[in-house]
Structure 1
Amino acid sequence: MALQERDNLCFSNKLLACPLRGHWTSFRLVDEQGDGKSYGGLHYTVMDSVGQEYTGRLDGEGFAKVQNHYRGPVVLRMDKQYNGLEKPYQRLINREYYPLPITELQFRAEQTRFFHEDGFRREYNPAIKEADIFVQVEVRDLVRDGAHLPPEVGRSYEPQSVLLRGMGELGFGPEHSFGIVLSPNKHNVLEVRPMRALRPMLSTDDKFCALNLYQLALMATLSYTDFAQYPREKPLDKVHFMLDPSIGNWFGEALAGYQENWRVDRTQSQRFYPLYEDVPYSKRLEILPFDPTLYEQNHPDKGKDQEHPENQHFFDDQVNGGDTQAFICHHDEVVLISVRGTASLKDALRDVDALQVPFEEGVGSVHQGFYNAFRAMKAFVLRYLDKFHSGQKIIICGHSLGGAIALLLAEALRRRAGVKYNILLYTYGAPRAGDSTFVEGATDLVHHRMVNNNDPVPGVPAPWMDANWKVWVPGLATIVLSGPYGMLVFGAGLVRIGGDPYQHHGQQQHFMPVRFDEREWSAILWDPDCESIEGAACTVMLEKIRRGDMPARDGLLAQLINYTDHMMIASYIPCAWATLRRWQQTLENASSVVTEREFRVVEDALATLNEKLYEYARKVRHNEGPRGATKNESAAMSALHREQDRLLRTRERLQTVRYRRLTLVDVYGSAAQLPEFTGSVERWAKHAENRSSVQYAMIPRQPDDGFRLAREPLDIDSIC
């Protein structure tokens, strides 16, 4: 056969009749910078058109050449398993549950970086100049098992995937389920996409920091979305997570594909970006792979016992008649658990089921509704931890009802026999969940409790509550509709008879708006240690003593009206963002965390509050009868004295906050020591939403979100 004929297109009619040898194919793997050193020394397998295999290793520049193969295209594979010594990879490869088929190629691709910091493919690679054929490939193109790998990303230089599928049908050797087709007698250059992912940066320090305050507010809100796996039940071969926002899309596709997600609620208009770390793909917050050919537990024949990502990462109690919802995922340093707050009538009924029941996992008594919700998800969490916990920090977060459940979960895990977990808890607008004995027993649990302005939910259950919801619900409705009669029913359902009072657990962080005029205002985050500021609890306590252990109707309705302060998108997330941005500016300017102007406004408000407490005390004394103070009047005076003492400590704390100088650890915790720290902060700061330099880091206003500002610096009128 003539030389000219041999050089004809490989799919000519004559080719099938005369598969001559003597052909060559060269290829080189490069990164997005055009450098092949990243892939030097990797093992490869090439199969020619008659099924002949050729193996070898790339040279130090990522180059190899196959000589004297049969005529026609060849298929390149790079499927050799990673056998290095790095422990995180060995742990993933050898773990008992869902071991990952990590290859040498994946390991190398995880050590490379994107040319563009946003992860978009480069339009022109310098290595194109040396190539006869240039293609952009991903690790999944070259390896057999790809269920654990990131989703494909669009590319300008597509590999010949159609040709790969058709080679067997056209008679060119065996069928190929994976690999890249290389053109014969040409130099092929393959640009391998880096295997990097984004993960929300978190501090594993127990100490409170502004970074965790903001990041976990976003994660707590994300728990309100669906997992959005498709198909949701009985998947056959693949699963997808297309819905944005959703838990599955965040961790299974967007962040795994290096996309900066910001939407945690489908109605959200304001962009709140997390601070992201750029990490090797294997260190992302993992969504487990789904591959029935590789994992027996994924096979559809398992029926109701079939495992797939949704039922491993996502808890939804609807199947059992409840509505508790949570998600869990992990990487090599953190297990993240987020519990959803009230989102349905079933959740609301649990909220008001305030009967105290024994906390069987520890000491004391707890709110029955919250406890039932915790017990519903307990086995789900323990199964996950038994499979994937290998010493990581367990970070738990939750909003509202989710915060109460998260507290019970955290304390139960802390007390779990035979295991020592390192637990960190952040809650947002959480109600009281346990009595004083429970709170005292949970002293060693690290819990940072965020309260926003006049959020009413942290004020319940009141310390005196031990409620039966069947009386509570109609009583509450009657309060609004028919006044005093409803209050009697309400009180009958809520009065605690015996037992210890409900108490809050954790270190409070109170976000307090400070308004200077109609257009200029700011807010500070601190722990005032004053019940009057925390949520008008002093007023409620004094009124229920004066009226016979029942709450004040006006105070209750005022708190219900202030419900916007309880919302995550409208209040808690903007407040957390404002705190982070404010603390960043404080650090940059080497200034105090509270300005002199703010200090004066808050101090004046505290003085006003103090005067109102004394005025109330004078009224109580003036009303004393000839035989002296009654039992109720004495109790009221004692409560006033305790509140005045707290107010004095609050003023002292304000002085401390006034002169406080922040450090990098105050703002970012242990994350400040991460190798990617500077790049992560710079990435976040490049978003227009995070570049505003305002004197007081005012809370970002959202269009039509109904966000309410305090009528006074401390909203004193709603307190007393």
Structure 2
Amino acid sequence: MYLDARKRPFFSDSTPACSLRGQWVSFCLVDETGVGATYGGLSYTVRDSAGREYKGRLNEEGFAKLKDIYSGPVVLVFDDLYSGTEQPYRRLMMRPTYQLPITELQFRAEQTRFASVDGRRIEANPAQHQPNRFYQVEVRDLVRHVAHLPPTTPRVHSPKRHALKMLADLGFGPPQPSLVGIVLFPNKHTVLEVRPLRALRPILSTEDGFCALNLYQLALFAALSYCDFGQAPAEKPLDEVRFPLDPSVGNLFAEQLSVYHEAWRIDPKQSHRFYPIYEDIPYSQRFEILPFDPVLYPQNRPERNEEQEHPARLHFFDDEKFGTDTQAFITHHDEVILISVRGTVSRADALRDADAHQVAFEGGVGKAHDGFYQAYRALRNFVLQYLDQFHTGQRIVMCGHSLGGAIALLLAEGLRRTPDAHYNILLYTYGAPRAADSEFTAGASSLVHHRIVNHNDPVPSVPAPWMNTTAKLWIPGAITLFSNPLPGGLLFAAGLVRVGGNPYRHHGEQYHFMPITLPDGSHSSVLWKPGCESLQEAGCNRALQLQGDMPDRDNVLRQLFQADQHFMTTSYIPAAWATLRRWQQTLESEGSLVTQREFELLDRAFEDMREQLRTKRRELALRRPANDRSHEPTDALNAEIDRLHTSRERLASLRWRRLQARDVYGNHASSAHLQASLKRWFRHRENREPAQFTSVPPPSHDEQVRVQTLDIDSVV
């Protein structure tokens, strides 16, 4: 009888596969330490060669055994959706759009931990020597819908994917094209080591107060905004998308942090490694790049043509096609929505920078720089559409460098004034020019904005308060000036000089990087709040510049030779890193923010500046006509000298100031994960520099010679 059964055809109308029974199969799910308790009670489905399904649950040790199954391999899947009550998971599964098919297996895998500190697979799992077969698997190997899951990582003991395809070709297991599950072979025990579903998430404080953590972390994200999104294919994807370009926004969030890789590259030509401080979190709590799955989400289907949604369209704004060339990215998790806006790169950006004509800020008060305002208007709807779908009360953290900082300011104020939205916004900008007039600045006083300025960065000095630049006038005026001086000069002046209205004014609380050359020749900086116009002008002393209502251009031209002070990877990021390290060491040692030697160096610079102001006051007094009783110029200089004295006192106070943990880490100061995150960060050699005299990491030769666009505002 047994031989007769073996002689039957492998396929027939009534028997799609071998009809022999009596086989068995057993399997066990374990974590990377060989323990299966995490997966105890998990529901599974097995489909044998005859197409019969067996459903059951793993025992408390993650083990199951099936007996008397049909001959041949079987396919194992864990496709039951999560049915628990934890709200972060329920919200992701029930949100209005892009509901995630989170399975019970995914939830369990997110509760496990890596055996190695860096998330790499190990070769010493205690369960490896128990079974007939041992596979290293990922959740995506065992569930049907995988677009929301991370890509696979390298492994030594891979499951037999070719066997799964062969069974599918023969009509066993799940129907094609869904090659779902793991093939188990009969009369053998198989152990499946499930890779933990953990991700890395850059830590951001959501408190209003300034902290060194956000200073550094958001400087990195402001620089990342200059990168492409990196999606392939970039347009009209069919069934899946990838993010192979490194660095890129999509690659960092979707293919590096999602697989627990400590990414550090945020600039294609970057050589020095600046690692963000990461926290280890369950995969579902990462900064999300939305899934692309035309089967689950109709809005992803290619037949929608121009209305097709995909990650690049949802997370990345690039307005190059429509003239403003504004670029930004947005992503989120359950506590933070992050928005970063790019600075000047293209000719369109430069022309927008130059268009400093003031226009009314719609929906608010005051007037804004026309070029920045047009970029804000282009970006606004993109951001609002994202917030409408994914804002559930998170803190909106925004950042931008240069032009991007100006646009981010207008966007932040526009969002803050959105009726009935109640957006809670925190803004950090780096080297941003003035974006609006004094009325706008006063009206936006409740917006939390920390404005970072590097010493001798020329861009924050523009547009000058006296400017109301209209590019349509000053550009042809500058050209005509050489061929027909009188009309050309008048046209040029009409394009630059503000006639009536309110002056441009900076918004936000300024933090200033004061440079220091240490005794060994290395460079460092001290971050502080000067409260002094001479320093707020980024080293371009307004009192020394003004001749009537026009500036002395020689000072601005001199600044252009220090234009490297404006760029992120060679200036702002190294200074932010040095500040974080200095503040960390000060907190640990209970020391002061400024050493006596550093104070002496800076105090000497203050005295030099004060002497320049006094000299200027004497020159003005000598040039004043005998019958001129006006004290306005000298009054302004006297006031500036007084403010400089106040600034010196502020600097002196840094010698005695004692930091609190919240000054350094914000609301993460008391969190349970902070020490583990710092331990991971300090494992990297680059972050273990001596801290009290923490030097700004020097740029590499390639970074020094790079040609980078400077905002045209700095030269008009």
TM (norm. structure 1) is 0.93
Distance (Å, rounded) in 1 between the aligned partners of 2:335 and 2:238? 32
SS in structure 2 of the partner of residue 255 of structure 1: helix
Mapping for residues 500-511 of structure 1, pairs under 5 Å: 500-511=502-513
Report deviation, 1:183.
1.3
Q: Which residue in 2 is equivalent to 1:688?
A: 685
Instruction: Decide whether aligned partners of structure 1 residues 705 and 501 sit closer, same or farther in structure 2, where only a CA change above 3 A counts.
Output: farther
Partner of 2:708: none
Q: Which runs of 5+ in 1 are unaligned?
A: 709-720
Cα distance in structure 2, aligned partners of 1:440 and 1:510: 21
Partner of 2:632: 635
Offset, 1:554: 0.6
8 Å CA contact retained: 1:352, 1:473: no
Match of 2:565 in 1: 565
Q: Which residue of 2 aligns with 1:577?
A: 577
Contact 2:219 2:568 in 1 (8 A): yes
Distance 1:184 1:613, change over 3 A: same
1:184: how far off? 1.0
Structure-1 separation of matches of 2:676 and 2:666: 16
Q: Give the Cα–Cα distance (whole angstroms) in 2 for the partners of residues 452 and 672 of structure 1.
A: 27
Instruction: Flag the 1:436–1:23 CA change in 2: closer, same or farther, 3 A.
Output: same
SS for the counterpart of 1:628 is coil
Match of 2:372 in 1: 370
Deviations 1:2-34 (A, max 9, x none): 69x99xxx99xxx99853111111110000010
Indicate how the Cα distance of structure 1 residues 227 and 237 shifts in structure 2: closer, same or farther if over 3 A, else same: same
Deviation at 1:239, TM superposition (A): 0.4
> Are 2:75 and 2:173, in contact at CA under 8 Å, matched by a contact in 1?
no
Contact 2:110/2:282 (CA < 8 Å) preserved in 1? Answer: yes
Asked if residue 152 in structure 1 is aligned to residue 144 in structure 2, the reply is no
Deviations 1:645-688 (A, max 9, x none): 21122022112222111121111111223332111111111101
- Tell me by how many angstroms 1:335 deviates: 0.1
1:491 CA displacement: 4.0
Residue aligned with 2:608, SS: helix
CA change 1:173–1:339 in 2 (3 A) is closer
Contact 1:538/1:643, CA 8 A, preserved across alignment: no
Structure 1 range deviating more: 255-264 or 378-387: 255-264
- Distance in 2 (alpha carbons) for counterparts of 1:477 and 1:687: 54
Q: Distance between the aligned counterparts of 2:703 and 2:555, measured in 1? A: 21
Q: How has the CA–CA distance of structure 1 residues 489 and 396 changed in structure 2, closer, same or farther, with 3 Å as cutoff?
A: same
2:714 corresponding residue in structure 1: none
2:713 is aligned to none
Contact 1:364 1:435 in 2 (8 A): yes
Question: In the alignment, which of 337, 340, 362 is matched to residue 339 of structure 2?
Answer: 337
Corresponding position: 1:607 with 2:607: yes
**In the alignment, what sits opposite 1:108?**
108
Matched, 1:645 2:639: no
Question: Which residue is equivalent to 1:717?
Answer: none
Structure 1 vs Structure 2 CA RMSD: 2.4
Could you tell me which of 300, 303, 307 is aligned with 1:301? 303
> 2:186 matched to 1:175?
no
Q: Hey, what does 1:132 align to over in structure 2?
A: 132
1:134-191 alpha-carbon deviations (Å, 9 max, x no partner): 0011111111100000001121111111111111433546636311111111111000
Contact 2:512 2:528 in 1 (8 A): yes
**CA distance 1:561–1:184, change in 2 (3 Å):** same
Judged with a 3 Å threshold, the aligned counterparts in structure 2 of structure 1 residues 147 and 52 are, in CA distance, closer, same or farther, namely same
* Separation in structure 1 between the aligned mates of residue 318 and residue 173 of structure 2, nearest angstrom: 49
Letter in 2 for 1:259: H
CA 1:680/1:537 → structure 2, altered by over 3 Å: closer, same or farther?
closer
Task: Report the secondary structure of 1:513's partner residue.
Answer: strand
1:669 aligns with 2:666: yes
Partner of 2:282: 280
> Residue 173 and residue 386 in structure 1: after superposition, are their counterparts in 2 closer, same or farther (change >3 A)?
closer
Of 409, 419, 424, which residue of structure 1 is paired with 2:421? 419
Is the 1:542–1:639 contact (alpha carbons within 8 Å) kept by the matching residues of 2? no
SS of match in other structure, 1:185:
coil
- Tell me which residue corresponds to 1:197: 199
Report the Cα distance in structure 1 between the residues aligned to 2:618 and 2:173, rounded to whole angstroms. 99
Quick one: distance in 2 between partners of 1:536 and 1:307? Answer: 43
Corresponding residue number in structure 2 for 1:317: 319
- Partner of 1:594, secondary structure, is coil
How high is the sequence identity, in percent, across the aligned residues? Answer: 58
1:61 to 1:339, Cα distance in 2 relative to 1, 3 A: same
> Any gaps of 5 or more consecutive residues in structure 2?
706-716
Equivalent AA in structure 2 for residue 64 of structure 1: A
Q: Deviation digits for residues 487-524 of structure 1, max 9, x if unmatched?
A: 87654421101111111100111001122446144310
Instruction: Give the drift of 1:351.
Output: 0.5
Aligned to 1:697: 694
1:247 pairs with 2:249: yes
Quick one: which of 494, 518, 525 aligns to 2:527?
525
Residue-by-residue CA offset, 1:343-384 (whole Å, 9 max, x unaligned): 001000110100111111211111000000000010000000
Partner of 2:89: 89
- Aligned twin of 2:711: none
Alignment partner of 1:216 is 2:218? yes
**Helix, strand or coil at the partner of 1:509:** strand
SS of 1:208 mapped into structure 2: coil
TM-score (norm 2): 0.93
Q: Quick one: structure 1 residues 475 and 702, their matched pair in 2 at CA, closer, same or farther if it must change by over 3 Å?
A: farther
2:596 paired residue number: 596
Mapped to 1, the partners of 2:513 and 2:296 lie a distance apart of 50
Q: Which amino acid aligns with 2:281?
A: V
Check conservation: 2:36, 2:61, Cα contact below 8 A: yes
Indicate how the Cα distance of structure 1 residues 323 and 42 shifts in structure 2: closer, same or farther if over 3 A, else same: same
2:28 alignment partner AA? R
- Greater alpha carbon shift after TM alignment, 434-443 vs 605-614: 605-614
Alignment partner of 1:249: what SS? Answer: helix
Counterpart residue number, 1:712: none
Asked if the contact 1:435/1:502 (under 8 Å) is kept, the reply is yes
8 Å Cα contact 2:543/2:613 also seen in 1: no
Quote the residue 1:715 is aligned against. Answer: none
Is the partner of 2:66 in helix, strand or coil? Answer: strand
Question: Displacement, 1:477?
Answer: 8.3
Q: 1:578 to 1:479 in 2, by over 3 A?
A: farther
Deviation at 1:80, TM superposition (A): 0.5
CA contact (8 A) 1:523 1:696 kept: no
Q: In the alignment, which residue of structure 1 is the partner of 2:118?
A: 118
Among candidates 246, 251, 261, match of residue 259 of structure 1 = 261
Give the 5 Å matches for 1:74-85: 74-85=74-85
* Farther off after superposition, 469-478 or 443-452: 469-478
| Mapped contact 2:234–2:312 kept (Cα < 8 A) | yes
Q: Report the Cα distance in structure 2 between the residues aligned to 1:197 and 1:208, rounded to whole angstroms.
A: 27
Equivalent pairs counted in the alignment come to 696
For residues 658 and 408 of structure 1, what CA distance do their matches in structure 2 show? 36
Kept after mapping to 2: 8 A contact 1:479/1:553: no
1:656 — aligned with what?
A: 653
Amino acid in the other structure paired with 1:592: S
Structure 1 residues 479 and 203 mapped into 2: Cα distance closer, same or farther (>3 Å)? farther
**Counterpart amino acid of residue 642 in structure 1:** A
Deviates more, 1:131-140 or 1:697-706: 697-706
Please give the secondary structure, in 1, of the residue aligned with 2:654. Answer: helix
- List per-residue Cα deviations over 1:404-450 (Å, max 9, x = no partner): 00000001111110111111000000000011110001110000000
Shift of 1:299: 0.4
- Native 8 Å contact 2:480 2:487 kept in 1: yes
Cα distance in 2 for partners of 1:298, 1:91 equals: 21
Counterpart pick for 2:449 among 447, 450, 455: 447
Which secondary structure state, in structure 1, belongs to the residue aligned with residue 135 of structure 2?
A: strand
Relative to 1, partners in 2 of residues 1:236 and 1:536: Cα closer, same or farther, differing over 3 Å? closer
Alpha-carbon distance in 2 for matches of 1:512, 1:329: 33
Show CA shifts across 1:201-231 (max 9, x none).
1111111111101110010010001011111
| Cα separation, partners in 2 of 1:269 and 1:486, compared to 1, 3 Å | farther
